[in-house]
Structures are given as structure tokens and as C-alpha cells.
Amino acid sequence: MFASYACRSPEHTIARRQFLGGVAGGVGAAALGLGAMTRPAAAAELAKQQKRIVVFWMAGGLSQLESWDPKPGTRTGGPFRAIPTSVPGVELCELLPQTAKQMHHLCLVRGVNTSEDDHGKGAYLMVTGRRESPALDYPRLGAVAAKALAPENSPLPGHIQITPGGGGGRSNDAAYLGPKFASVVLGGGQPPQNTSPAVAAAIDAQRNDFRRKANERFLSRRRTAQTDLYTYSYEQALQLMERRDAFDISKEPAKAQEQYGDHDLGRQCLLARRLLEQGVTFIQISHSNYDTHNENFDFHIEQLGEFDQAYATFIDDLHQRGMLDSTLVIVMSEFGRTPNINLYYGRDHWSKAWSVALAGCGVKRGIAYGKTNDQGTEVVDGHVDHGNLFHTYLSAVGLDSTATFDIGGREMPMADPSSKPIDAVLA
């Protein structure tokens, strides 16, 4: 749904290395050897254990009052009821009836205060765990996860964004980690553009053999990080072309496509599940535009109808396939919406007291951590911010969030060293 009433910010004028993460140490070198990987059952089990992250990015700022932290019957609560969930005592807004049935898999963080009401700055701090700085750009969560968790020889990119208009290009969101870990942007339900073979297989093989020999000759004399990256990118592109069927959701049963929903978000979620099964480490799914300065309630009825169906199906699907225990699913945006309802029946930007939803790998199930007051205007218990959340995401997938990356001999912290994880939500 297009929100013509969104604010006129620039953002809305333009429409493993540690294989198995923290579990690796307990598995043992023998279990990770070539012999194990050549046995289908063992390889399938390792694939289930590999840690992954999925982000639902609710672009524009999802209203916490119409989702995770309803306040019915109050001055700020709006017209919707709170409904019971599969966890006694935890309620959600009535716009999320299917999600309410999956609450036993979820972990709600209701005490988020990021103190940033600008779209661009709010988005940056939520995906990097740090505030913008003129001195240094920081890598996004997907780039960090791809570098720390993705298998070195993965045939598919470790960092993928799925949007309705995605075209297959790489973004510039890995900062000092390098373009190898930048995101590839894909559309929902279709293979990436330009991945169909343009010539006969025999001719293509000859071309690539010649290219490899030329590369080896060049690299023997002038090897640099940039030339290595070029070689890596080309070889990965070839592997991606061989796996292009992984991106085609038309190969899914009709029942699965119907369960996820006949809309962009449903197709994005189904594609994400297919890519997780193929070993992709990080996937971001976008749903837009929640910047509801006008007609907040009508908009959320329609938009959350799509989200509720697709998200609840996605969580249940991962659970049924045995993948939820190794996949952290995060629902976040740049901020929440104001408790105050404006004269246009909308809610404005609000970062002082809002919610993030977690599910799956490494977090406690069926809990709501943190609390806002009865009007939803401030956090009264369990106060956390973007830095705490970023540390928590990394810790949940088995990483030491206080660790560093060696970038050209310089130690760069994986997360903000002045912050720490939310221990109360970690399993």
C-alpha cells in the first residue's frame, strides 16, 4: 500500500568465517571435516545448525500501539482491542490474530528508547547499533553477520535484501568490512536478473577457463585485495547462476504460496525461506510504508493484514522445518509512532518508548521484556536502546558481541564497546 501522506523526508521521496558460530567449538574438528560434509544426513544436520538472521524491516515506523504493545481503552490507545495470545498474560493488538497464535515462539522487547526521530538517522542506528559519525561509517547488521557467520565457500551471497523492486545489484552497506559482505538486492519471487546463460555451456566453460588462466597470470604479479574481490565476485556469480532455481518461488506448492499470501510480502517471505534452506546467512525483508501521519488506523488495518499472514506463516514454517532454533527473526523499524493521535487521525515519529519483536535462535520464547506506562509515553521498566539490541542480535546467534574484526591490522569492534546485550532475553 502506498502511503501518499507520509512525511516528506528524503527517505520517502525516493520510493564464516565462523561456520556454526558459537556452536563450532563444541562440535569438534572431525565433525566439520570433508567426510561429514559428503554424507547427506550429516550435511543436512549441519545446515540446520548454521546460525542465520532474518530481519523484517517495517519501513517508516510501525506503530507499537497497533502491534506489540496495545493500550486499549486509554486516551492514546486508539480504536483497537488487545487480544489474548498463545502465552497467557501476553496480549497483542487485534490486528495480529495469526501472530498471536505464534506468541509462544516470540520474545517482545517493549522498552526500546533510541531518542532519534529522524528517519535516516533512526534507520542507521537500528541497523548498525551506533549513531552516525562524520569520522567513520559502520557496517550494517547483515554485513557483520555475513562476515562472522557465512561459510567461506557458500555459492550464494551471505547478505541479501529482498524488496518488490530489487534488481540484483550490490549495495554500499558493508563499510570497512568490504564489498564482499555488502548486500545483494533482490525482488520477491523471481531469480536475479541476467542469471540465465547467454551462450552454450561448452562455450561458456571455455571462456571461464581462459578468464581463470588470465587472472592467475595477473595475480601472480599484481595481487591486491581489489583483484581478489573481483575474482571472488565472478566465481560467486557463476555459482549463483547454477542455483538460480533457489530464487524461483513458482516451484513451491500452490498451498504454500496461498498460505504466505498473494502479495509482495508473502512472496518475499516464501523466497526468504527458500534461501535460508540454501544456506544464506542474512536476509532482510522490507514492508513499507508505515509512516502514518494521516489515517494511521485505516492504514494499519490493511498493512498489518498482509504482515500478520506472512509473518505468522513464516515463523510456523521455520518451526515445522526445524529451522527456527537456528534462525533469529527480528521485526524492527527506525522508530515507533506517537501515543498522541494528531488532528489527521495519524501518529507521528516516536522513539522514546516503542517495541522490537524477536523470535527463534538464542532468545527466550513466549516472553515480553520491558514495560511502558499505561499511556505508552515512556519506558518504566527494562529500558534498552539500539546498542543493546545490536549486541543482543549477535549474542543470540552465538557470537561474542565484544569481539573485534581485524581490518588491515586495525581492531574494529563488532558492536559498540560502550554497550552490552540484554541478558534477560537471551536463552
Segment 384-404 shows an average pLDDT of 98
Displacement of CA 99 from its chain's centroid (Å): 18
DSSP-derived pairing of the beta strands 354-360 and 106-112: antiparallel
Distance CA 33, CA 84 (A): 48
Range with the poorest average pLDDT among 2-16, 138-152, 303-317, 366-380: 2-16
Mean of all residue pLDDT scores within the chain: 85
Determine the pLDDT at residue 163: 87
Distance CA 347, CA 413 (A): 37
How many of the other CB atoms lie within 10 Å of CB of 159?
A: 30
Nearest CA to 96 among 246, 280, 277, 300? 300
Nearest CA to 355 among 120, 76, 113, 130? 113
Enclosing H/E stretch for 411: strand 410-413
Grid coordinates belonging to 174: 558493508
Residues linked to residue 330 through DSSP beta bridges, in sequence order? 55, 358
E strands within 39-182? 52-59, 82-84, 91-93, 106-112, 159-162
Residue 110 has pLDDT above 50, yes or no: yes
Distance CA 356, CA 349 (A): 15
| Stronger pLDDT, 317 or 29, i.e. the higher one | 317
Determine the pLDDT at residue 374: 96
Highest-confidence segment of 187-191, 218-222, 403-407 = 403-407
Residue 190 has pLDDT above 90, yes or no: no
| Stronger pLDDT, 66 or 9, i.e. the higher one | 66
Cis peptide before 289 (omega within 30 of 0): yes
Determine the pLDDT at residue 238: 64
User: Could you give the count of Cα atoms lying within 13 Å of 298 in the half-sphere of its Cβ?
Assistant: 10
How many of the other CB atoms lie within 10 Å of CB of 324?
A: 21
**Domain coordinates in residue numbering, the chain:** 10-27+44-190+248-425
Grid coordinates belonging to 324: 527456527
- 80 and 91 in contact (C-beta within 8 Å)? no
Domain 10-27+44-190+248-425 is found in CATH 3.40.720:
yes
Distance CA 334, CA 414 (A): 21
Confidence of residue 336 (pLDDT cuts 50, 70, 90): very high
- 272 and 135 in contact (C-beta within 8 Å)? no
pLDDT in tens, 262-287: 999 999 999 999 999 989 999 999 99
Segment 112-122 shows an average pLDDT of 98
Determine the pLDDT at residue 35: 32
